[in-house]
Chains A and B, each alone.
Chain A
Amino acid sequence: MLDAVTARLDRARTVMRRATLVPLLIRIGIALFLVLAMSVAWPVELVAGRYGVPLLLLALYPAIAPRGRGATAVVLVVVAGWVADTTWNDARVALWRVLSIATLLYLAHTLVALAAQVPYDAVVNLDVVTGWLTQAGAVVLISAVLTVIALGLAGELAGGAFVIATLVGLAAAVAATLLLARLLRR
């Protein structure tokens, strides 16, 4: 037992000694985006209250272990908070909140994908990070335009949100199926 603790401490010390700046910044970015997404998605009174600390600690976990399933779980918790806030608290579906949560979740997701591949002690060429963030920026931009258009349309066609959601959802489901089929064909 004591040996295990000592070994773990030694490993942590080695990690601290060998860690390099860029992987550290990537992990800080993950933590920051997830904490922000969590605070935006969950009701303010809950985040500011006594449940805030566990939620924020949970948001930090993928930054520490990006290779595990923690990131998926945290994203699901954020979505759960958003659904809870808008369903039970009857919060308004504000454009800025949808945009922020979508952007922050995607940025955290793509940075987790990067951090899972880059070891903590790697010598990272800056091209890697800038290229990665540029592609992520393009994705975020396209999604933001889609979000603005879709929410605008939903506002215009008051009451027709259900129909739009069904249509967009079906289109997206077809696209996802095609994607999966293409992957399976490989």
Chain B
Amino acid sequence: MTDTPPLRAAIPPADQPVGEGWAGPAWVPTRALGRTVLLTGLLLVLGVALGRVDLVLLAAPFAVGAALGLRRMPRSAPEVMIDADDEHVVEGGQAHAGLTVLNPDLIPYDLVVVRIRSSPWLRLENADRPFAITVAEDGWAQIDLPGEALRWGRHEVGPAAARVAACQGLLACRPVVTAARGVRVYPVTDPFAAVEAMPAAAGLVGNHRSRRPGEGGELAGVRPFAPGDRLRRIDWRVSLRTRDLHVAATLSDRDAEVLLLLDVLGEAGVSGGVAGSASVLDTTVRASAAIAEHYLKRGDRVSLLEYGASGRRLRPATGRRQYLTVLEWLLDVRAHSADESPYEHAFGPHHVSPDALVVVLTPLVDPRSADMLARLTQSGRFVVAVDTLPAGLQPPRRSPWTPLATRLWRIERDNVLGRLREHGVPVVAWAGAGSLDQVLRDVARMASAPRGR
């Protein structure tokens, strides 16, 4: 019979609870304790050596203070928790964060110094300063940090660190750090409205009247009855007058897909938050949210796509749920540096539904953006370009030639815009409500023309 090899238990034995052997927080003596011990010892030795009571008495407060302070020592670590808003915070709105310090010990914390970091886009009251508080034994203390969210995005409150001093400052705890909490700040949507004209539609139901006859609500005309027509469509008044059966023909209702293509190849301008200047990405995100809100409210399907290195995509859908998804998706919009791998191979017109209205939000700074617009138009997609470059943008002055170079660059960019317009790409600057009315009318008119390919 062979001996069975000794096997190690897969789980720790039950009689050793987890955490029992944990050394706890590293409570370390402070310099004040060192000073107390040194002065007490020195004064006592001097007092004994010189036979002076007064020197011993000078040491008395230090000895009494140490004895009173150290009669009960802390054992466990403080706990720090960050509370942040889980509600929907919109930029420019109130954001609220809080810090809670827990004292699981049986002695009070004489001093807790708490520091917290937070995103520069969350202006929290006094968040740039440390807080000094006391926490009673087996209790907790809270610090409220009311503030304001300045810009859309995912922002962080934290990390926070707490350093505790107990026993009259004779012992201190090593800093306890807690991880950051995320706060989602949604973009404000500029009010946006567009005319009804939609160049093309894809589905069989929806809010837009199509150019094709079919079942729908919009009256297209009256025509003689033909086999296959439904009896409820018969227009009895006309039939009686003409003594021949006539039916009311309607245009079919269609829904449309709107694709918002976000150019994230680069960022330009300085973002000043909701009350300040808008950068390219600010305009892109806010305009996207506004356009998506408008079309989703009308029942259209909206999808989003990033034109950049990551190529994120949001599938087309409709309704309020999609609107919330769009807002969530927009929070992760980041600029990708231009020297990253080219995106041309990954993105092409074949990714875009042929009937979709493509709204491209682009600053037209990168030449690849203009090429992409031209290719989309050539492939017969209905494209509207929204210029998101901030007006009056000036690059930092690096040399005396900077203004001249900027002027040349602007002339070149105007040239590109002109050529795009020649190719049939309407380019319009974002100006909130009514920005796209004129160009949408033009695109709808172009779409009604016979398509060459």
* Interface: B60 (CB within 8 A): yes
A123–B36 Cα gap in the complex (Å)?
Answer: 28
A68–B46 Cα gap in the complex (Å)?
Answer: 25
A182–B196 Cα gap in the complex (Å)?
Answer: 83
Which listed residue, A72, A105, A124, A176, touches B63 by the CB 8 Å rule? Answer: A176
Complex interface: chain B residues within 8 A of A93 (CB): 52, 54
Whether the Cβ atoms of B30 and A113 lie closer than 8 Å is: yes
Whether the Cβ atoms of B67 and A143 lie closer than 8 Å is: no
* Interface: A1 (CB within 8 A): no
* Interface: A162 (CB within 8 A): yes
* Interface: A54 (CB within 8 A): no
Whether the Cβ atoms of B130 and A175 lie closer than 8 Å is: no
Complex interface: chain A residues within 8 A of B55 (CB): 79, 83, 165
Given known A75-B39, A123-B130, contact A165–B51 (CB-CB < 8 A): yes
* Interface: B68 (CB within 8 A): yes
Q: Which of A80-136 contact B (CB under 8 A)?
A: 82-83, 86-87, 93, 98, 101-103, 105-106, 109-110, 112-114, 116-119, 121-125, 127-128, 131-132, 135-136
* Interface: B113 (CB within 8 A): yes
Q: Which of B102-136 contact A (CB under 8 A)?
A: 108, 110-111, 113, 126, 129-134
Number of residues in B with C-beta < 8 Å to the partner? 60
* Interface: B38 (CB within 8 A): yes
Whether the Cβ atoms of B53 and A150 lie closer than 8 Å is: yes
Whether the Cβ atoms of B70 and A179 lie closer than 8 Å is: yes
| Segment from B7-15, B161-169, B352-360, B413-421 that makes contact with A | B161-169
- Nearest CB in chain A: distance from B34 CB, A: 8
Whether the Cβ atoms of A117 and B111 lie closer than 8 Å is: yes
Complex interface: chain B residues within 8 A of A17 (CB): none
Residue of A nearest to B52 (CB): A165
Whether the Cβ atoms of A182 and B70 lie closer than 8 Å is: yes
Whether the Cβ atoms of B40 and A102 lie closer than 8 Å is: no
Whether the Cβ atoms of B58 and A79 lie closer than 8 Å is: yes
Residues 48-73 of A, flagged 1 when their CB comes within 8 A of B and 0 if not, give: 00000000000000000001010110
Complex interface: chain A residues within 8 A of B39 (CB): 72, 75-76, 79, 109
Whether the Cβ atoms of A161 and B52 lie closer than 8 Å is: yes
* Interface: A142 (CB within 8 A): yes
Whether the Cβ atoms of B129 and A121 lie closer than 8 Å is: yes
Given known A113-B170, A176-B40, contact A131–B110 (CB-CB < 8 A): yes
Whether the Cβ atoms of A143 and B169 lie closer than 8 Å is: no
Given known A86-B54, A113-B30, contact A169–B131 (CB-CB < 8 A): no
Residues 155-186 of A, flagged 1 when their CB comes within 8 A of B and 0 if not, give: 00000011011101110110110011011001
Max chain A Cβ within 10 angstroms of own Cβ: one of B40, B50, B111, B165: B111
Whether the Cβ atoms of B131 and A132 lie closer than 8 Å is: no
* Interface: B324 (CB within 8 A): no
* Interface: B59 (CB within 8 A): yes
- Nearest CB in chain A: distance from B344 CB, A: 48
Whether the Cβ atoms of A128 and B60 lie closer than 8 Å is: no
Whether the Cβ atoms of A122 and B129 lie closer than 8 Å is: yes
Complex interface: chain A residues within 8 A of B38 (CB): 72
Which listed residue, A113, A128, A135, A162, touches B133 by the CB 8 Å rule? Answer: A128
Which listed residue, A72, A118, A180, touches B35 by the CB 8 Å rule? Answer: A72
Complex interface: chain B residues within 8 A of A142 (CB): 64, 68
Given known A79-B43, A143-B60, contact A117–B133 (CB-CB < 8 A): no
A75–B168 Cα gap in the complex (Å)?
Answer: 18
Complex interface: chain B residues within 8 A of A16 (CB): none
A11–B229 Cα gap in the complex (Å)?
Answer: 87
Complex interface: chain B residues within 8 A of A86 (CB): 52, 54
Residue of B nearest to A107 (CB): B61
Q: Which of B58-110 contact A (CB under 8 A)?
A: 58-70, 73, 108, 110
Complex interface: chain A residues within 8 A of B113 (CB): 117-119, 122
Whether the Cβ atoms of B40 and A101 lie closer than 8 Å is: no
* Interface: B48 (CB within 8 A): yes
A125–B170 Cα gap in the complex (Å)?
Answer: 20
A-B residue pairs in contact (CB < 8 Å), sample of 30: A18-B129, A22-B132, A76-B39, A79-B46, A83-B50, A98-B58, A102-B58, A102-B61, A110-B168, A119-B130, A121-B129, A122-B113, A125-B133, A128-B134, A135-B110, A135-B168, A138-B68, A140-B61, A143-B60, A143-B61, A146-B60, A146-B64, A150-B57, A165-B53, A169-B47, A172-B40, A172-B44, A173-B41, A173-B45, A179-B67
